[in-house]
Structure 1
Amino acid sequence: MSNITTFSVTSSNRKIDPSRRRGGTFKADGSLNDNDRVEIGPTDLAFNEWAELGLTPPNLTRMREYRLQRIVKELQKRDLGGILLFDPLNIRYATDSTNMQVWVTHNHSRACFVSASGHLILWDFHNCEHLSAHRPLIKEVRGGASFFYFETGDRTDEHDSRFASEIQSILQEHAGDNKRLAIDKMEIAGFNKIKQLGIDVFDGQEVMEFARSIKNEDEINAMRCSIASTEVAMKCMQEAIVPGITENDIWSILHAENIRRGGEWIECRILSSGPRTNPWFQESGPRIVKEGELLAFDTDLIGPYGMCADLSRTWMIGESLPSAEQKHLYQVAYEHIQHNMNILKPGMTFEEVTKSGLLLPEEYRAQRYGVMMHGVGLCDEYPSIRYPEDLECHGYSGVLEPGMALCVEAYVGRVGGKSGVKLEDQIIITDTGFENLTNYPFEAALLAN
C-alpha cells in the first residue's frame, strides 16, 4: 500500500451531487437511502429489528455537529489553536468517517486537524477522498499523513518534514498567533519535526477523552441501537451452544451477526469455557465445550454507527443443572454489579464511587477485574473507576455527569479455582441517577437458591 501522493479537495467539489440528494429518499437516521452509496451504516435487517423494539436511530447530522462542537469547546477551554488527531477512533468522532479502521490503528495513514473555530481538515489514505464526500463538516481532504517506516523507509525525514510544515501553515492560517497545538498520537519522527518548528504541543488525548465523555441524545440512541443488535447476536450465540462444538464456533457467530447488521469489528476475542474461565482474559480457541461447564465472554464489540457495545455474560453449557459452586460465583458477580450500578448518580466523585462500591469477598480480590467500571462510547473511554485496592496507585479525580456512559463489570474467580464468572452491563448517567441500556437477561438457573 502507498499513501505518498498528496491531494487536496476543496469543499466546492467534494460533496454529493445536491440534485441526487434532493431526489433521493432517506433512512431513519437521515442518511441517503441509496443502494450504491459509499457510506457504510446499518443494514435493513438492523433498522427493522430496531423498529420492532421501538428504538429511535440517531439523527446523524445532529450527532456529527454535536461532536464537532464538543471538540471546539474543549480546545477553547484550554486556549489551544487546534488539535491534530491520528487515533482512528478520535478521527471517527471528529469526522464520522472511516477507512480501514483496524489497519490504520497500527499504520498511521489518516489524520485530522480541528481548529478552535471548528475548521476541519482530513488527511486520508491514497485516492480515498470519495469515502468522506458525504461529510459536509469536513472542509478539506488531503493526503500525505503517512511517515511510518514501512511506508516511507529512508525517505521518512522528507515526508515528516513536509507534513510538519503543512501543519505549521494550517495552524497559522486558522489560529493566527496561537501556536498551541494538541496532538493525540503520532509517529515520533513527525512529532519531533513539529516541535522543532516552535509549535507548543499539548496532550490531545485529554482533550478528546473529555470531549467524548458526554453523550447527547443521538449518541445515546446510537448506543441503544448498537446494544440491541449485539443482544440479538448474543441470543444467536446462546442458541447455538451445544456440547461438542468449539469456543471458536461460538465466538464466530457474534462476529457474523454483528456484520450482518452493519456492525464494524470486535476489539478482542475474550471467550472461554470450563477451566479456561479461570483466570480471566483467555481468548477463544479450539477447545471443545462440554456438558455442565460455564462459558463466559466479553463482547468488546464495535457495532452499528461505530458505537461500542461492551457486555459480558456467563452461560451454562447443555442441560445440566448448575453446581453449588457455579451458582455461588454467579450470584457474587451479579450482586456486585447490581450494587455498583444502583449507587450511581450525577455529582459523585470517582473516589466516592469507589468507596461506595461493594467489596468483593476476600477470596476473589486477587483476581479482581482491572476496573469497577469504565466509560464507553466509540470504544472503552474515560473514565476508569478503580477498586479500593487500586485507588492509591491508579485512581484519579473526576465527577460523574449526565450523559456519561459506563460499563459496570465484575469477574469472580478464586486463585486456582475451576471456574470463573464475568458479568457486565452498560448504563448511562441521567439527571437523577442512571439508566441501564442493557436488556439481555441473566441466568435464572444460576441465580436460583
Structure 2
Amino acid sequence: MIQKTIKEETHCYGTQVVKATLETTGSVEGLFGRHRKIMPYDPSEEGLLRERSRQKAASLNQHAIGYGPVTEAEWASAGIAAPDLTAMRRYRLERIRSELKKRNYAGALLYDPVNIRYATDSTNMQLWVAHNPTRHCFVATEGPVILFDYFACEHLSDHAGTVSEVRPAISWMYLYGGELTELRVRRWAGGIADLLREHGGSNSRLAVDHLSAEGVDALQQLGISVHSGEAVMESARLIKSADEILCMRRAIVACESAMGEMEACLRPGISENELWAELHRGNIARGGEWIETRLLASGPRTNPWFQECSSRVIEEGDLVAFDTDLIGPYGFCADLSRTWLCGDVEPTDEQRDLFRIAAEQIAHNTALIRPGIGFRELVDRSAVAPADCFPTRYGVLYHGVGLADEYPTLPHAQDWTSDTPDGVLEPGMVVCVESYIGRLGGREGVKIEDQVLVTADGHEQLSSYPLDPRLSATS
C-alpha cells in the first residue's frame, strides 16, 4: 500500500464497495490511507490477517453502514437529498488550511472532538475524549492529516478518506501518567515538534485549540510558538457548504421526529426525566450522537430558566419547556426549543400572554436576518422582553450553530460590552434565534428557539416543528 494524502483521496467508500473489492482482489489496497506508524506493511500471514481485520472493521464503521431504512425514509419523505460527504470533507480541510495560511501557522493541533470531527469526519468515544484527552489530530498547512488515536482504534477513521496516517496517542493526563506525567509530556511534545519541523519547515507557529499549561510549556521549550486554534476552527466552521446544509437539514428532521415522539408521550403523571429520555431514544435510534444539556422543565421549574430536568411529575395544565441541544446524524447540531401545555386543558391567560411575547420576539428577530447586516445592528434592532420579564431574559438573542453551538454569540444590546466582537452575517452562516420569557418572580416561563440559514438574499428557517396551537391561539 502507498501512503496517501487528502489530495489523492477522491471517494468515500461504503460497505458494499469494500466488500466487493475484498471479494475480487482479496485486498482493499488503494481504498484506505496508509497507517505506517501503527501498522507497517507486513507480508507474513499474521500481517495479512491483521490488515484484513482492520479493513473489515473499517467497512463496518457506523458511518460507513449509514443511518438505516427508517431514518432514510424520513429524509426521503422530507425531500432532502443525500449529501456528498467526500466533497464536504474536502471543503472542510480547505477551510481549515485557508485559515492557517491566513494566520501564517504551520499547522493545527486539535483536541476538541468536535474540531477533530470537522477535520476528519471520524469519531471515537466523543464525550469521553472531551474530558479525557486521549485523541488528537495534527493538520499540516502544507502536508498530511495525522490522527493520534486511542489504542487499537486505527480503523475508526478509514471510512472517511481524510486521514493520511494514524499514530497511537500519547496521553499525559494524570489518569495514565500519575507523578510521571512530566516525562509523558516531554515525549508527546517531542513528537509534535518533529512533525512541525518535518511539515512546517522554518515556520514554528502552531495553532492549538485545547491544551493545558504543561503542554503549552513543553512545546514552547522546544521552540514552538503556540497560538489560538479556536480562532482557526471557529472561523473555518463559520460558513457551511451546500453539503453541510444538507446534513444539517437531515439532523433537524431527525430531531423533530424525535420531538414528535416525545410530545406524544407527554401526559399528566410522566416525570420530566421520563419525557426527556424519549428525545434521547429518538435521537439515538436515528443515528444521532448525544445531547449536550438536560434542559427540560415543567410548571414552576420553568421560571427561572436553566433548571436541569428532574424526577418531578408533570401535572395537568403545566407548561413544559425544553431545549434540544442535540448532536444528531452526521454530527450536526439541532438546537431547537419549544414549550408545550400538558393535558387536555385550556391554557391560562398568563400562559398565553407569555407565549405570545416569546413567539413575537422570535418572529421579529428572525425577520431581521439577512446577509450584510452587522452584529451590533442586528442586536440594536431586535425585540427584547418587556420590563417585568427582562431580568430573567435569555443570555443571548442569537448564536451560531453547526457541529455544535458556534461563533458568533450576540447578546442583548444592554449586555453588549467593549469586548463583544462585532461582525457581519454572511450567506452560509446558520444561527439560532433564542427567546425565554418569564416574569420576575412569576410561576412559569416560555422557551422558543429556531434554527435559521443566512441565504444570499435573506434567510430560511430550517426548523419547522409547529408551536403548540393552544398556546399560540389568540383566544
Q: Same fold (TM over 0.5)?
A: yes
1:278/1:418 contact within 8 Å kept: yes
Matched, 1:37 2:60: yes
Match of 1:96 among 118, 121, 130: 121
What CA distance in whole angstroms lies between the structure 2 residues aligned with 1:164 and 1:36? 33
8 A Cα contact 1:108 1:145, kept in partner: no
8 Å contact kept, 1:333–1:410: yes
Match of 2:281 among 247, 253, 256: 256
- Counterpart pick for 1:362 among 384, 387, 391: 387
CA deviation after TM superposition for structure 1 residue 144, in Å: 2.5
Give the aligned residue type for 2:305: W
Question: Amino acid of the residue matched to residue 206 of structure 1?
Answer: A
1:196 aligns with 2:193: no
Q: Deviations over 1:91-129 (max 9, x none)?
A: 010001100000011000011111112521100001110
Q: CA deviation at 1:187?
A: 2.7
Q: Deviations over 1:390-436 (max 9, x none)?
A: 11266211111110010001000012110000000001100011100
Q: CA deviation at 1:23?
A: 2.6
SS at match of 2:137: strand
Aligned residue runs from structure 1 range 61-76, under 5 A: 61-76=86-101
The CA deviation at 1:145 is 3.2
Query: Where do residues 270-281 of structure 1 align in structure 2 (5 Å cutoff)?
Result: 270-281=295-306
Give the alignment of 1:170-189 within 5 angstroms: 170-189=195-214
Q: Give the structure 2 partner of residue 421 of structure 1.
A: 446
Cα distance change on mapping 1:61 and 1:225 into 2, 3 Å: same
For the pair 1:447 / 2:444, whether they are aligned, the reply is no
Could you say which residue in structure 1 is the equivalent of 2:411? 386
Structure 2 counterparts to residues 43-442 of structure 1, below 5 A: 43-117=68-142, 119-392=144-417, 395-442=420-467
Distance 2:411 2:19 in 1: 51
SS of structure 2 residue aligned to 1:272: strand
Q: Is the 8 A contact 2:58 2:155 kept in 1?
A: no
Please tell me whether the aligned partners of residues 147 and 187 of structure 1 are also in contact (alpha carbons under 8 angstroms).
no
Amino acid at match of 2:60: R
User: What SS is found at the alignment partner of 2:417?
Assistant: helix
Letter in 2 for 1:435: E
CA contact (8 A) 1:271 1:295 kept: yes
* Uncovered stretches (5+) of structure 2, i.e. residues with no partner: 22-54
Per-residue deviation, 1:284: 1.1
Residues 326-380 of structure 1, C-alpha deviations (whole Å, 9 max, x = no match): 0000010000011111011111111111111112211111111111010001100
User: Once the 2 structures are TM-superposed, how far is the Cα of residue 35 of structure 1 from its aligned partner?
Assistant: 11
Question: Do the aligned partners of 1:427 and 1:435 also contact (CA within 8 Å) in 2?
Answer: yes
What secondary structure is seen at the aligned counterpart in 1 of 2:380? helix
Alignment check: 8 A CA contact 2:15 2:60 kept: no
RMSD of the alignment, in Å?
2.1
Task: Identify unmatched segments of 5+ residues in structure 1.
Answer: 1-8, 25-31
Taking the aligned partners of 2:159 and 2:151, their CA distance within structure 1 comes to 18
CA distance in 2, matches of 1:201, 1:252: 42
Q: What secondary structure does 2:434 align onto?
A: strand
Give the stretch that moved more between structures: 42-51 or 320-329: 42-51
Partner residue in 1 for 2:44: none
**Contact 1:274–1:295 (CA<8 Å) still a contact in 2?**
yes
Whether the 8 Å CA contact 2:18–2:59 is kept in 1: the answer is: no
Asked whether the equivalents of residues 58 and 157 of structure 2 are also in contact (C-alpha less than 8 Å), the reply is: no
- Aligned AA (2:289): E
Change (3 A) 1:193 1:38: same
Cα offset, 1:160, TM superposition = 1.1
Provide the identity percentage.
Answer: 48
Q: Which amino acid is 1:347 matched to?
A: G
Match of 1:23? 20
Q: Residue 332 of structure 2 contacts residue 402 of structure 2 at CA under 8 Å; is this kept in 1?
A: yes
Aligned partners of 1:69 and 1:118 also within 8 Å: no
CA contact (8 A) 2:323 2:335 kept: yes
Shift of 1:320: 0.7
Quote how far apart the aligned CAs of 1:20 are. 4.7
One-letter identity of the residue aligned with 2:20: G
**Matched-pair contact (CA < 8 Å) for 1:333–1:411:** yes
Task: Give the deviation of 1:191 after TM superposition.
Answer: 1.7
Query: Distance in 2 between the 1:407 and 1:118 partners?
Result: 36
Shift of 1:57: 2.4
